């Protein structure tokens, strides 16, 4: 069944890489201590500033996955013994908590039922009870559950305090039109293999002037002050992910050429269409307030892992659940796709469900999706 195209990827990272970016990644590598690389690096920095609507030079790129930038956030802006709140509503919220505890922070876990979004009032209440709290660590897009956390509302709370809002936007940057300075975000983390349409191995960490006052740089490799000194001049402290930097320059050019307002609007249409489509065949959208970068689905009447296998038989790979959601949900990524691409994923979903014995009207899922597109585009 996969003779011509091979496997299609609809996972929340890595995502499919457009031909325009693959062409850049496939070129002969250049040396990083050259004027050619310096020019490309500085151009990528300029484009990144445009993406987030900031003139600040307060950001660095690391040769790491997004988790590296998460750890760098803890190591560079907090000290052992600092008290922080970690919003734990999924696998990646757990990761914030684990990183903080690993490096000696006093972590207050704000536990949520998986699939729920954090109530800003609960965060504000905790901050009232712990006025010495130095940070709030949260996902914007908790990709393990598909839930959205309203970081703008949290920014309105933390900006009035001596508290840093640290946001994992790894599956949000390049999807949402994020403006960290306007939203009150103090540290923003991203990763290459999501909506930046690149392979894994490059992360980014932006920080506010407020966060800069707390910088310590107690890490060796993930040392933000050392990296920043080099990067504003077009170089890096350690060997960079050269090809990924060149690819990032191209992906940022694509995103900015389309316009982030339009990009976000397109993701919103896809997300709404996919949600309506899966609900039309009796499946349940898992989170109460879903993100637009992916759809987490609880299939009713079929086994999620069996459904994934059936979809893969026709060349479509989607992700399963993580942690306590393993074997309970599937996750269909919208990142890196155009609206028509989702017809492929939903066709495979429908075929797989029928193969597993679900009684549905042929074309119900795909028809609902395309009908939604026609009404919204």
The per-residue pLDDT for 226 is: 97
The enclosing H or E element of 141 equals: strand 141-142
User: 8-15+259-376 maps to which CATH number?
Assistant: 3.90.1150.10
Q: Where are the domains of the chain?
A: 8-15+259-376, 31-258
Q: Within 13 Å and on the Cβ side, how many CA atoms surround 156?
A: 5
The per-residue pLDDT for 377 is: 76
Mean pLDDT of 234-263: 98
Regarding the domain delimited by 31-258, which CATH topology (the fold level of the hierarchy) does it fall under? Answer: 3.40.640
| pLDDT tens by residue, 53-94 | 999 999 999 999 999 999 999 999 999 999 999 999 999 999
| pLDDT tens by residue, 363-374 | 999 999 999 999
| pLDDT tens by residue, 173-213 | 999 999 999 999 999 999 999 999 999 999 999 999 999 99
Band (326; pLDDT cuts 50, 70, 90): very high
| pLDDT tens by residue, 80-132 | 999 999 999 999 999 999 999 999 999 999 999 999 999 999 999 999 999 99
The per-residue pLDDT for 5 is: 65
Band (376; pLDDT cuts 50, 70, 90): confident
C-alpha span between 332 and 336 (Å, rounded): 12
| pLDDT tens by residue, 32-41 | 999 999 999 9
pLDDT at 311 over 60: yes
| pLDDT tens by residue, 250-296 | 999 999 999 999 999 999 999 999 999 999 999 999 999 999 999 99
C-alpha span between 71 and 353 (Å, rounded): 40
Max Cα distance, the chain (Å)? 62
C-alpha span between 208 and 344 (Å, rounded): 41
Give the phi and the psi of residue 164 in degrees, each rounded to 5: -95, 130
C-alpha span between 37 and 63 (Å, rounded): 15
The secondary structure of residue 14, as a DSSP letter, is S
**Which residues lie below 8 Å from residue 128, measured CB to CB, with a gap of 6+?**
none
> What is the edge-to-edge ordering of all strands in the sheet holding 330-333?
8-10, 316-320, 330-333, 294-298, 284-285
Mean pLDDT of 140-166: 98
Band (6; pLDDT cuts 50, 70, 90): confident
Phi and psi based region of residue 53 (left: phi greater than 0; alpha: psi -120 to 50; beta: remaining): left
The per-residue pLDDT for 116 is: 98
The per-residue pLDDT for 2 is: 56
Mean pLDDT of the chain: 96
The enclosing H or E element of 136 equals: strand 135-139
């Amino acid at each position: 069944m996969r003779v011509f195209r091979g496997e299609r990827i609809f996972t929340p990272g890595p995502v499919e890489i457009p031909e325009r970016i693959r062409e850049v990644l496939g070129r002969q590598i250049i040396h990083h201590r050259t004027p050619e690389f310096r020019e490309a690096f500085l151009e990528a920095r300029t484009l990144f500033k445009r993406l987030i609507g900031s003139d600040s030079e307060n950001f660095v790129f690391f040769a790491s996955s997004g988790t590296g930038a998460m750890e760098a956030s803890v190591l560079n802006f907090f000290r052992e013994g600092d008290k922080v709140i970690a919003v734990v509503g999924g696998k990646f919220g757990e990761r914030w908590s684990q990183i903080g505890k690993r490096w000696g922070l006093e972590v207050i876990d704000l536990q949520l039922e998986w699939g729920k979004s954090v109530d800003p009032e609960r965060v504000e209440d905790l901050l009232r009870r712990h006025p010495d709290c130095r940070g709030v660590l949260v996902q914007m897009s908790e990709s393990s559950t598909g839930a959205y956390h309203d970081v703008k509302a949290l920014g309105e709370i933390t900006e009035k305090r001596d508290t840093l809002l640290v946001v994992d936007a790894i599956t949000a940057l390049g999807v949402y039109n994020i403006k960290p300075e306007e939203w009150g975000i103090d540290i923003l983390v991203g990763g290459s293999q999501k909506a930046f349409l690149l392979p894994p191995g490059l992360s980014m960490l932006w920080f506010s002037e407020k966060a800069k006052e707390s910088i310590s740089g107690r890490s060796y490799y993930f040392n933000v002050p050392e990296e920043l000194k080099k990067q504003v001049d077009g170089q890096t402290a350690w060997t960079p992910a050269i090809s990924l930097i060149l690819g990032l320059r191209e992906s940022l050019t694509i995103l900015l050429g389309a316009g982030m307002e339009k990009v976000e609007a397109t993701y919103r249409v896809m997300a709404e269409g996919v949600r309506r489509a899966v609900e039309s065949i009796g499946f349940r959208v898992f989170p109460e307030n879903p993100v637009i970068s992916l759809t987490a689905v609880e299939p009713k009447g079929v086994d999620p892992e069996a459904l994934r296998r059936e979809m893969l038989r026709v060349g479509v790979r989607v992700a399963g659940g993580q942690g306590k959601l393993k074997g309970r949900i599937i996750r269909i990524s919208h990142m890196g796709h155009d609206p028509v691409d989702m017809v492929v994923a939903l066709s495979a979903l429908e075929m797989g469900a029928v193969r597993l014995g679900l009684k549905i009207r042929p074309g119900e899922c795909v028809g609902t999706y395309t009908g939604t597109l026609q009404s919204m585009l």
